[in-house]
Structure 1
Amino acid sequence: MKKLTKTNVFKEYVSKPETPMDKTTRVVRQMVDEETVQRDAKNSRLRNARLEREANTPPETKASAAPKPRRTKAASTR
Protein backbone atom coordinates (compact mmCIF):
# COMPACT_ATOMS: atom_id res chain seq x y z
CA MET A 1 0.00 0.00 0.00
CA LYS A 2 1.14 3.50 -0.78
CA LYS A 3 2.14 5.72 2.07
CA LEU A 4 -0.31 8.61 2.53
CA THR A 5 1.22 12.02 2.84
CA LYS A 6 -0.08 15.53 2.73
CA THR A 7 0.90 15.97 -0.93
CA ASN A 8 -0.79 12.91 -2.35
CA VAL A 9 -4.04 13.02 -0.32
CA PHE A 10 -5.00 16.64 -0.82
CA LYS A 11 -4.26 17.83 -4.31
CA GLU A 12 -3.53 21.48 -4.68
CA TYR A 13 -5.94 23.31 -6.96
CA VAL A 14 -4.09 25.62 -9.27
CA SER A 15 -6.34 28.11 -10.98
CA LYS A 16 -5.32 29.07 -14.44
CA PRO A 17 -4.67 32.73 -15.15
CA GLU A 18 -7.42 34.81 -16.70
CA THR A 19 -7.21 34.82 -20.49
CA PRO A 20 -7.80 38.01 -22.47
CA MET A 21 -11.12 36.58 -23.67
CA ASP A 22 -12.18 35.86 -20.07
CA LYS A 23 -11.23 39.39 -19.07
CA THR A 24 -13.22 40.87 -21.96
CA THR A 25 -16.24 38.73 -21.10
CA ARG A 26 -16.08 39.76 -17.44
CA VAL A 27 -15.83 43.47 -18.29
CA VAL A 28 -18.64 43.31 -20.85
CA ARG A 29 -20.95 41.47 -18.45
CA GLN A 30 -20.22 44.07 -15.79
CA MET A 31 -21.05 46.87 -18.25
CA VAL A 32 -24.28 45.18 -19.33
CA ASP A 33 -25.30 44.65 -15.71
CA GLU A 34 -24.66 48.33 -14.90
CA GLU A 35 -26.68 49.42 -17.94
CA THR A 36 -29.53 47.15 -16.86
CA VAL A 37 -29.58 48.68 -13.39
CA GLN A 38 -29.57 52.20 -14.85
CA ARG A 39 -32.33 51.31 -17.35
CA ASP A 40 -34.52 49.79 -14.63
CA ALA A 41 -34.06 52.87 -12.44
CA LYS A 42 -34.96 55.16 -15.33
CA ASN A 43 -38.02 53.05 -16.24
CA SER A 44 -39.33 53.07 -12.69
CA ARG A 45 -38.73 56.84 -12.38
CA LEU A 46 -40.58 57.50 -15.64
CA ARG A 47 -43.38 55.08 -14.72
CA ASN A 48 -43.89 56.80 -11.37
CA ALA A 49 -43.93 60.22 -13.05
CA ARG A 50 -46.51 59.02 -15.58
CA LEU A 51 -48.74 57.49 -12.91
CA GLU A 52 -48.53 60.66 -10.83
CA ARG A 53 -49.38 62.81 -13.86
CA GLU A 54 -52.35 60.57 -14.72
CA ALA A 55 -53.59 60.69 -11.13
CA ASN A 56 -53.47 64.51 -11.07
CA THR A 57 -55.09 64.99 -14.50
CA PRO A 58 -58.88 65.02 -14.54
CA PRO A 59 -60.38 62.47 -16.94
CA GLU A 60 -61.41 63.89 -20.29
CA THR A 61 -65.05 63.65 -21.24
CA LYS A 62 -65.66 62.55 -24.77
CA ALA A 63 -68.34 64.31 -26.75
CA SER A 64 -70.50 61.87 -28.63
CA ALA A 65 -68.94 61.85 -32.05
CA ALA A 66 -71.01 61.04 -35.09
CA PRO A 67 -70.09 57.65 -36.51
CA LYS A 68 -68.10 57.80 -39.71
CA PRO A 69 -69.83 56.39 -42.77
CA ARG A 70 -68.54 53.01 -43.85
CA ARG A 71 -66.61 52.66 -47.03
CA THR A 72 -67.93 50.22 -49.56
CA LYS A 73 -65.68 47.49 -50.83
CA ALA A 74 -64.23 47.92 -54.31
CA ALA A 75 -65.71 45.69 -56.96
CA SER A 76 -63.69 42.59 -57.70
CA THR A 77 -62.26 42.22 -61.24
CA ARG A 78 -62.61 38.46 -61.61
Structure 2
Amino acid sequence: MVDKDQLFSPTKMSAQAKAEQTNQAAKEILAAEAAAREAKTAKLRLARLEQAAPKAVEKSKSSSRARTK
Protein backbone atom coordinates (compact mmCIF):
# COMPACT_ATOMS: atom_id res chain seq x y z
CA MET A 1 0.00 0.00 0.00
CA VAL A 2 1.19 3.53 -0.78
CA ASP A 3 1.17 6.12 1.96
CA LYS A 4 1.29 9.91 1.67
CA ASP A 5 5.04 10.12 2.37
CA GLN A 6 5.80 8.06 -0.71
CA LEU A 7 3.58 10.18 -2.95
CA PHE A 8 4.40 13.64 -1.64
CA SER A 9 7.68 15.13 -0.54
CA PRO A 10 7.41 15.89 3.19
CA THR A 11 9.76 18.90 2.97
CA LYS A 12 9.55 21.86 0.65
CA MET A 13 12.42 22.65 -1.66
CA SER A 14 14.17 25.96 -0.93
CA ALA A 15 14.01 28.69 -3.54
CA GLN A 16 17.74 28.38 -4.15
CA ALA A 17 17.53 24.62 -4.64
CA LYS A 18 14.55 25.03 -6.97
CA ALA A 19 16.43 27.67 -8.99
CA GLU A 20 19.48 25.39 -9.19
CA GLN A 21 17.34 22.49 -10.37
CA THR A 22 15.73 24.68 -13.04
CA ASN A 23 19.13 26.05 -14.07
CA GLN A 24 20.56 22.55 -14.40
CA ALA A 25 17.61 21.40 -16.52
CA ALA A 26 17.97 24.43 -18.80
CA LYS A 27 21.70 23.80 -19.22
CA GLU A 28 21.05 20.17 -20.15
CA ILE A 29 18.46 21.21 -22.75
CA LEU A 30 20.80 23.82 -24.23
CA ALA A 31 23.69 21.35 -24.36
CA ALA A 32 21.51 18.80 -26.15
CA GLU A 33 20.36 21.40 -28.67
CA ALA A 34 23.94 22.55 -29.27
CA ALA A 35 25.10 18.98 -29.85
CA ALA A 36 22.26 18.38 -32.30
CA ARG A 37 23.04 21.64 -34.11
CA GLU A 38 26.75 20.78 -34.39
CA ALA A 39 25.94 17.31 -35.72
CA LYS A 40 23.57 18.76 -38.31
CA THR A 41 26.15 21.37 -39.33
CA ALA A 42 28.84 18.71 -39.76
CA LYS A 43 26.48 16.55 -41.82
CA LEU A 44 25.50 19.45 -44.08
CA ARG A 45 29.13 20.58 -44.45
CA LEU A 46 30.15 17.08 -45.52
CA ALA A 47 27.28 16.90 -48.01
CA ARG A 48 28.23 20.29 -49.44
CA LEU A 49 31.87 19.26 -49.82
CA GLU A 50 30.89 15.99 -51.50
CA GLN A 51 28.62 17.87 -53.88
CA ALA A 52 31.31 20.45 -54.69
CA ALA A 53 34.13 17.90 -55.18
CA PRO A 54 32.92 16.46 -58.53
CA LYS A 55 32.32 19.96 -59.88
CA ALA A 56 35.86 20.98 -58.95
CA VAL A 57 37.29 17.94 -60.72
CA GLU A 58 35.23 18.68 -63.85
CA LYS A 59 36.34 22.31 -63.85
CA SER A 60 39.99 21.38 -63.48
CA LYS A 61 39.74 18.87 -66.34
CA SER A 62 37.99 21.34 -68.62
CA SER A 63 40.36 24.18 -67.77
CA SER A 64 43.43 21.98 -68.40
CA ARG A 65 42.01 21.00 -71.79
CA ALA A 66 41.39 24.62 -72.65
CA ARG A 67 44.99 25.51 -71.87
CA THR A 68 46.41 22.70 -73.98
CA LYS A 69 44.44 23.63 -77.09
Aligned length: 50
Gaps in structure 1 of 5+ consecutive residues: 1-13, 62-78
Could you tell me the TM-score, scaled by structure 2's length? 0.60
Decide which of 46, 53, 59 is 2:48's aligned counterpart: 53
Measure how far apart 1:56 and its partner are: 1.3
Task: Report the counterpart of residue 24 of structure 2 in structure 1.
Answer: 29
Task: Report the counterpart of residue 43 of structure 1 in structure 2.
Answer: 38
Question: Could you report, residue by residue, the CA deviation over 1:9-49 in whole angstroms, capped at 9, with x for unpaired residues?
Answer: xxxxx853211110000000000000011111111011000
Could you tell me the TM-score, scaled by structure 1's length? 0.54
Relative to total residues, which structure has the larger helix share, 1 or 2?
2
Task: Report the counterpart of residue 64 of structure 2 in structure 1.
Answer: none
Gaps in structure 2 of 5+ consecutive residues: 1-8, 61-69
Matched position secondary structure for 1:57: helix
Q: Rg bigger for which structure?
A: 1
Decide which of 10, 13, 18 is 1:18's aligned counterpart: 13
